[in-house]
């Protein structure tokens, strides 16, 4: 039977991984298949207009599904393929363009012409593959991605617990950080903030205690299960519970009357994408802002996965949804061994608001100093640099990096776009698994910005949506950070690859966004 290689599906093993042998043929798994969208030319024109900063025509979720969801015939073609291979379809979503297939290792290996192995490496073990995926010719041009055959952890949480206390360390509640940045008044009432989590969980009793301590009512928080992921606290503050609690507590403190929907999914490429598309197309909770504090170096992703997630963010932009993503906690290397500069994905998507980190000193709502967060290789630093995958957006044209003391024109997508307090030495007071502690990392910056945007959405009565082009046109809406570095990149006046355009100048930012939205 004629077949083709699925573009961008090539996988390599985790560095240092070794095969323990073929995966158990009878092991059951689920695989996500993404198909093309309808009216692709119309969608491309819509995305180009958004990227150019033209006033958007925001589509509702229902309108988007009708215009740009999957063609029924394409879904039917995948169903027929699965049936012919003895594989079940357990979920199908036209708006998300997704089918979830269930079968055994043996069935999927034969269907996609791959060899699945049990792999081991220093970080654990996973079911993996190398090489590309093969599909029958009748699916050519229909299927855009096949994710989930490989079960390796795809992302890491970008938070840092404060180490042993130092004499210079300070900490703030999220409300104190918001006051320092001059956030506009508001509670986020009427908005929903979606939070993506790839493990861990929250305890309602901890949330009750935490918000009582802040003197505000506990916000409405709901857990949404994706691909069997659940709110499952582990009891380990150093693990994913720290990420979940940080995200919920920062958003909830800044926007206490917003509804918070937490999307729990497995930490795989399929789980990550499915969590995002579920949040973007959620017609029940309807988040207007999504916060993501997980990611991994671009070098660890397949091209098909990065393209699929970038397209999910494009869909979010078309529906007026802002996506805030942490830029990483490992400076210009992004934690990749062997040298060189790397950036974190999904923060490097041009349709994500990449959120970098600073070290903030403030008192009584007044900032005394703010520089790039960089505590050295053992302490963490703001992620940032130049993408090796995504082209230079028009709104970053004519910018430059200051790399190892030399200026160079930005040639590809630059990361991050904005910043905020991330240094554990100037961190956030939080409560995790029954204990009060202090956390930093760019994981705190994504929910900080998400809470800010929820307040602004409440003020304007319309969603802020895709902000990137407008922010680059209005740099005075941010506090330029000109001191420090994240390793190979130095801070500079204007945009830089450490803190982007800078940290929030809350009132100015609100004025820009509200005026823009009310003029539409």
Catalytic residue list: 243, 247, 443
Give, to the nearest 10 degrees, the angle between helix 445-460 and helix 506-518: 50
Structure tokens belonging to residue 105: 């290792």
Give, to the nearest 10 degrees, the angle between helix 240-254 and helix 204-214: 40
- Positive or negative CA dihedral for 231, 237, 240, 246? positive
Would you give the end-to-end CA distance of the chain in angstroms? Answer: 53
Spatial contact of 243 and 250, defined as CB atoms under 8 Å apart: no
Whole-angstrom Cα distance, residue 205 to residue 188? 23
- For residue 61, the SS3 value is helix
Whole-angstrom Cα distance, residue 356 to residue 481? 11
Whole-angstrom Cα distance, residue 249 to residue 252? 5
- DSSP label at 178? H
Name the residue among 362, 343, 333, 354 with its Cα closest to residue 301: 343
Whole-angstrom Cα distance, residue 516 to residue 518? 6
Residue ranges of the alpha helices (H) in 52-116? 61-68, 72-84, 105-112
Whole-angstrom Cα distance, residue 320 to residue 17? 42
Give, to the nearest 10 degrees, the angle between helix 61-68 and helix 303-318: 130
Whole-angstrom Cα distance, residue 2 to residue 64? 34
- C-beta neighbour count of 392 within 10 angstroms: 18
Structure tokens belonging to residue 204: 């309602």
**What are the backbone angles phi and psi of residue 192, rounded to the nearest 5°?**
-125, 130
Name the residue among 253, 157, 158 with its Cα closest to residue 213: 253
Whole-angstrom Cα distance, residue 451 to residue 289? 8
Whole-angstrom Cα distance, residue 87 to residue 13? 26
Q: Report in angstroms the alpha-carbon separations of 135 from 40, 111, 113.
A: 22, 8, 8
Phi-psi region of 394 (alpha: psi -120 to 50; beta: other; left: phi over 0): alpha
Structure tokens belonging to residue 163: 């180490």
Spatial contact of 295 and 441, defined as CB atoms under 8 Å apart: no
């Amino acid at each position: 039977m004629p077949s083709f290689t699925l573009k961008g599906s090539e996988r390599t093993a985790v560095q240092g991984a070794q095969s323990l042998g073929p995966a158990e043929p009878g092991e059951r798994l689920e695989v996500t298949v993404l198909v093309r969208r309808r009216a692709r030319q119309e969608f491309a024109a819509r995305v180009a207009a958004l990227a150019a900063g033209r006033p958007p025509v925001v589509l509702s979720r229902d309108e988007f599904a009708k215009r740009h969801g999957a063609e029924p015939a394409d879904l039917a073609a995948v169903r027929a393929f699965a049936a012919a291979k003895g594989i079940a379809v357990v979920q199908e979503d036209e708006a998300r363009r997704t089918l979830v297939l269930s079968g055994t290792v043996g069935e999927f290996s034969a269907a996609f012409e791959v060899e699945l192995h049990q792999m081991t490496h220093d970080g654990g073990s996973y079911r993996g593959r190398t090489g590309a995926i093969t599909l029958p010719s009748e699916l050519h041009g229909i299927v855009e991605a096949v994710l989930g055959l490989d079960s390796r952890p795809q992302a890491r949480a970008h938070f840092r617990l404060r180490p042993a206390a130092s004499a210079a360390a300070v900490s703030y509640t999220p409300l104190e950080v918001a006051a320092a940045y001059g956030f506009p008044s508001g509670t986020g009432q009427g908005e929903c903030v979606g939070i993506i989590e790839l493990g861990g969980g929250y305890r309602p009793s901890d949330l009750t205690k935490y918000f009582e301590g802040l003197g505000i009512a506990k916000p409405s928080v709901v857990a949404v299960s994706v691909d069997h992921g659940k709110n499952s606290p582990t009891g380990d503050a150093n693990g994913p519970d720290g990420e979940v609690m940080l995200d919920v507590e920062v958003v909830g403190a800044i926007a206490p009357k917003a509804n918070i929907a937490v999307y729990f999914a497995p930490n795989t490429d399929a789980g990550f994408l499915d969590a995002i598309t579920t949040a973007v197309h959620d017609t029940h909770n309807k988040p207007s802002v999504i916060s993501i504090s997980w990611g991994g170096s671009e070098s660890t992703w397949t091209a098909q996965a990065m393209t699929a997630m970038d397209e999910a963010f494009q869909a979010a932009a078309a529906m007026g949804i802002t996506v805030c993503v942490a830029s990483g906690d490992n400076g210009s290397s992004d934690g990749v061994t062997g040298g060189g500069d790397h950036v974190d994905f999904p923060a490097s998507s041009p349709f994500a608001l990449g959120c970098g980190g600073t070290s903030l000193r403030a008192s009584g709502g007044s900032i005394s100093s703010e520089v790039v967060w960089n505590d050295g290789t053992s302490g963490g630093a703001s992620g940032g640099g130049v993408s090796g995958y995504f082209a230079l957006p028009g709104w970053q044209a004519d910018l430059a990096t200051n790399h190892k003391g030399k200026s160079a024109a930005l040639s590809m997508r630059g990361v991050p776009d904005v910043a905020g307090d991330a240094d554990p030495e100037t961190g956030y007071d939080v409560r995790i698994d029954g204990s009060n502690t202090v956390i930093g990392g760019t994981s705190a910056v994504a929910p900080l910005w998400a809470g800010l945007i929820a307040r602004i959405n409440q003020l304007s009565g319309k969603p802020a949506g895709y902000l990137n082009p407008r922010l680059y046109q209005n740099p005075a809406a941010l506090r330029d950070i000109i001191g420090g570095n994240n390793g190979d990149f130095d801070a500079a006046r204007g945009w830089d690859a450490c803190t982007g355009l800078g940290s929030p100048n809350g009132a100015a930012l609100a004025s820009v966004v509200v005026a823009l939205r009310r003029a539409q």
